[in-house]
Amino acid sequence: MTVPAVGRPAPDFELVSGDGKKIRLSDFRGKKVVLYFYPRDMTPGCTEQACAFRDAWEEFKRLNAVVLGVSADSAESHAKFAAKHDLPFPLLSDPDHKVCEMYGVWKEKSMYGKTFMGIERSTFLIGEDGTLLREWRGVQVKGHIEETLAAVAEASGGGA
């Protein structure tokens, strides 16, 4: 499977959000989309990342951007995670990891000497016309939101 490339259309998809709604990437044409993939709800790094996106939410909105989080967790897990941390953006459930595979983030990982398949923390910036503008793979949480906001501001024709 070919992964998306910067300058090419981002693959469209439909997933269920934590509130049970079906959401398509193409629903957000006319806005920039920050699409981030994360390993698991309620884990320290994923919570830190989600809360950083939450804290920058107003700035993303000001720049005509939406944030969508994707993991393999269930919609019910997403609903609990979003409620616990007051997340204002949709968390999308990809239990069969089809969208994760589409974006090339479903990878072999290892921890404590064990190998397993999981989501590589990654973020994609998609333009208002659906074109992939930027990608970050193997994201480290610290400083990532600031870097993402700067890229969104740049895509908006201005500085952060």
Residues 18 and 79 sit within 8 Å (Cβ to Cβ) = yes
* Cα distance between residue 18 and residue 143, in whole Å: 26
The DSSP H or E segment spanning 63 is none
Indicate which residue of 35, 46, 87, 99 is catalytic.
46
Say whether 100 is catalytic: no
* Cα distance between residue 63 and residue 33, in whole Å: 10
* Cα distance between residue 61 and residue 78, in whole Å: 21
* Cα distance between residue 134 and residue 83, in whole Å: 29
- The catalytic site residues sit at 46
